């Protein structure tokens, strides 16, 4: 086992009531986080997920709790971060996973010439502004805390004050025809990641994005059941011919939080089985 993939700090996962955020929180607990705070707009699912995380936690002193918030409300975002720092003294790992393509995009399919500006504002408000509010509050808290070090066979190195992982998308790299607003919002989220990584590297804060394509969340499972054509499309487009399991994304998030990734900053990691590097000619 590579011990540098172990975690031991305080984690906050925004959007952890369901889907990738929920699995990310479980992976962090499994990797050794001492605390995982489940933040979500849905109190019921956040509580259920927080309770379930106790089954997977490997830290003997593991603690978990929930916080109800909405990324569209700056005050609730700030209150969430203040709560974590007040209750647990620091914030080591923050994951921003609120909202999903299926939830945020309302099915509008239009070329740029026909962009519905109200719809654009709504999507940007969650994916760009909402996530910026989260990153801003998290960075501001992390920069005040003492940095940590990691000791390995080659000595001791500085691993900084905190780590932030943003759930961007393969759409942060490439466009989805007719989905301009969503694509623009995910490009913005990648830009937020890069800028926070650049501006706060000297504070010892690493900020990275995970960029998946199709991930087998409960919402995708419902869609696959209702419409077999979605599986056919995934088989045609994804070289591995299946959607990613949630864990294939969430374990990567835990890795990026760990000392093993202490030199990875400002990066946007594609977890897409080469979808975006493939040009399909037939």
Ligand X SMILES: NC(=O)c1ccc[n+]([C@@H]2O[C@H](COP(=O)([O-])OP(=O)(O)OC[C@H]3O[C@@H](n4cnc5c(N)ncnc54)[C@H](O)[C@@H]3O)[C@@H](O)[C@H]2O)c1
Q: Which residue in 93, 101, 179, 186 is the catalytic one? A: 186
Based on the residue annotation, tell me whether 241 is a catalytic residue of this protein.
no
Q: Is 42 in the site for ligand X (CB under 6 A)?
A: yes
- With beta carbons less than 8 A apart as the criterion, state whether 39 and 12 touch: yes
Residues ≥6 apart with Cβ < 8 Å to 259: 4, 5, 6, 150, 152, 159
- Which residues is 150 bridged to in the sheet? 157
Q: Is 173 in the site for ligand X (CB under 6 A)?
A: no
* Binding-site member from 98, 128, 209, 254 for ligand X (CB under 6 A): 98
Region 216-255 residues binding ligand X, contact defined as CB under 6 A: 217, 219-220
- With beta carbons less than 8 A apart as the criterion, state whether 20 and 215 touch: yes
Closest separation in Å from C-beta 215 to ligand X? 4
* Rounded Cα gap, residues 85 and 82, in angstroms: 5
Q: Which residue lies nearest ligand X, judged by its C-beta?
A: 19
Q: Is 26 in the site for ligand X (CB under 6 A)?
A: no
| φ, ψ dihedrals at 80, nearest 5° | -60, -50
Q: Is 100 in the site for ligand X (CB under 6 A)?
A: yes
| φ, ψ dihedrals at 92, nearest 5° | -95, -40
* Rounded Cα gap, residues 244 and 156, in angstroms: 36
34 vs 214, beta carbon nearer ligand X: 214
Q: Is 259 in the site for ligand X (CB under 6 A)?
A: no
Region 127-146 residues binding ligand X, contact defined as CB under 6 A: 130
Q: Which residue in 60, 182, 241, 263 is the catalytic one? A: 182
- With beta carbons less than 8 A apart as the criterion, state whether 182 and 171 touch: yes
Q: Is 276 in the site for ligand X (CB under 6 A)?
A: no
Q: Report how far apart, in Å, the C-alpha atoms of 39 and of each of 169, 193, 266 are.
A: 21, 20, 24
Closest separation in Å from C-beta 271 to ligand X? 9
- ∠ at Cα 68 (66, 73), nearest 5°? 145
* Other CB atoms within 10 Å distance of the CB of residue 32: 18
Q: Is 262 in the site for ligand X (CB under 6 A)?
A: no
163 vs 167, beta carbon nearer ligand X: 167
Q: Is 12 in the site for ligand X (CB under 6 A)?
A: no
Q: Look at the block and give the residue holding tokens 């989220």.
A: 189
Closest separation in Å from C-beta 151 to ligand X? 34
- Which residues is 149 bridged to in the sheet? 158
With CB under 6 A, what is the number of residues at the site for ligand X? 30
Q: Is 20 in the site for ligand X (CB under 6 A)?
A: yes
Segment interacting with ligand X (CB under 6 A) among 143-151, 156-164, 173-181, 214-222: 214-222
Closest separation in Å from C-beta 239 to ligand X? 16
Based on the residue annotation, tell me whether 263 is a catalytic residue of this protein.
no
* Binding-site member from 91, 97, 159, 273 for ligand X (CB under 6 A): 97
Q: Look at the block and give the residue holding tokens 């301009």.
A: 180
In a 3-state reduction of DSSP, which class is residue 213?
A: coil
Binding positions for ligand X, rule: CB under 6 A: 15, 17-21, 40-42, 45, 69-72, 97-101, 103, 126, 130, 167, 169, 212, 214-215, 217, 219-220
Residues annotated as part of the active site: 182, 186
């Amino acid at each position: 086992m590579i011990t540098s993939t172990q975690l031991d700090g305080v984690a906050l996962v925004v959007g952890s009531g369901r889907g990738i955020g929920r699995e990310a929180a479980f992976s962090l607990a499994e990797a050794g986080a001492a605390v995982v705070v489940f933040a979500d707009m849905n109190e019921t699912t956040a509580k259920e997920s927080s309770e379930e995380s106790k089954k997977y936690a490997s830290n003997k002193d593991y603690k978990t709790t929930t916080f109800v918030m909405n990324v569209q409300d700056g005050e609730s975002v700030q209150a969430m971060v203040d709560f974590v720092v007040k209750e647990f003294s620091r914030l080591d790992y923050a994951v921003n996973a609120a909202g999903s393509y299926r939830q945020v995009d309302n099915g509008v399919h239009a070329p740029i010439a026909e962009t519905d500006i109200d719809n654009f504002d709504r999507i940007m408000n969650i994916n760009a502004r909402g996530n910026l509010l989260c990153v801003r509050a998290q960075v501001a808290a992390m920069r005040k805390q003492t940095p940590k070090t990691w000791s390995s066979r080659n000595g001791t190195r500085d691993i900084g004050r905190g780590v932030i992982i943003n759930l961007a998308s393969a759409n942060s790299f490439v466009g989805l025809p007719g989905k301009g607003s969503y694509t623009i919002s995910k490009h913005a989220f990648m830009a937020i990641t890069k800028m926070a990584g650049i501006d706060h590297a000297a504070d010892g804060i690493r900020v990275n994005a995970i960029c998946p394509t199709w991930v087998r969340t409960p919402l995708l499972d419902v869609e696959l059941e209702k419409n077999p054509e979605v599986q056919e499309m995934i088989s045609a487009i994804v070289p591995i011919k299946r959607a990613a399991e949630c864990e294939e994304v969430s374990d990567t998030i835990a890795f990026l939080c760990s000392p093993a990734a202490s030199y990875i900053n400002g990066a946007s990691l594609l977890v897409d089985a080469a979808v975006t590097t493939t040009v399909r000619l037939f």
